[in-house]
Every structure is written in structure tokens, then in C-alpha cells.
Structure 1
Amino acid sequence: MARIRVLVVDDHRIFAESLAAALAAEPDVEVAAAGSGPAALRALERAAAEA
């Protein structure tokens, strides 16, 4: 089965980290987190370069 890739973006750090941890506990789920729009765009660029 293909891995599911999720990007959690929220400016509330504790919420984002908690959600990312819960999602990462699932099999076949890869999680990244960002705290702002610009950080999310950078994370997406890195992910696209790795793919």
C-alpha cells in the first residue's frame, strides 16, 4: 500500500504537534508539520524535490 503523506499547518504549536503525533501513529502515514503558510510552502517544495 502506498504511504499517505500529510502536512499539518497550524500556528498553534501544541495543536499541530498533537495532531501530527496522532496521525504518525497510524501505519503507512508520513507526517510533516509547519507553523505558517510560508513554512508550509517550503515543506511542500522539499517534499516535491524528494519525490
Structure 2
Amino acid sequence: MRRLDTLAEELETHNKVGDSAKTSKEAETKVQEWLAVLARCLPTGRSRQRHRSRAM
């Protein structure tokens, strides 16, 4: 989450349109990678259902 926050801050600090366009394109790939990492860390719907049924 910190990495995504850092990317957002970088985008906010660029004043020139050209710089913002370049940085946003670079950030797009990084954001996709970090979202994939976060998605792997979260349980899926089936995992949560199994966990709930075991707890009961």
C-alpha cells in the first residue's frame, strides 16, 4: 500500500503535462503489479466460505 501511495504522490508533484503523461504511463504498470500482489494476499470467496464453515 505504501508503494501505491508513493506512486500517487509522484503523480501529484508533476506540474508539466508531458511529465505527468510519462509518469502516469510508468505508474500504470507498477500499479497493476502491486494490485496483483495485494489480490494474492486476500482470500478468495471460496477460501472465506471454507474458513467460516470450519469455525462453526
TM-score normalised per structure 2: 0.36
Question: Which is richer in strand?
Answer: 1
Higher relative contact order (CA 8 A, sep 6+): 1
Question: Which is richer in helix?
Answer: 2
TM-score normalised per structure 1: 0.38
Bigger CA radius of gyration: 2
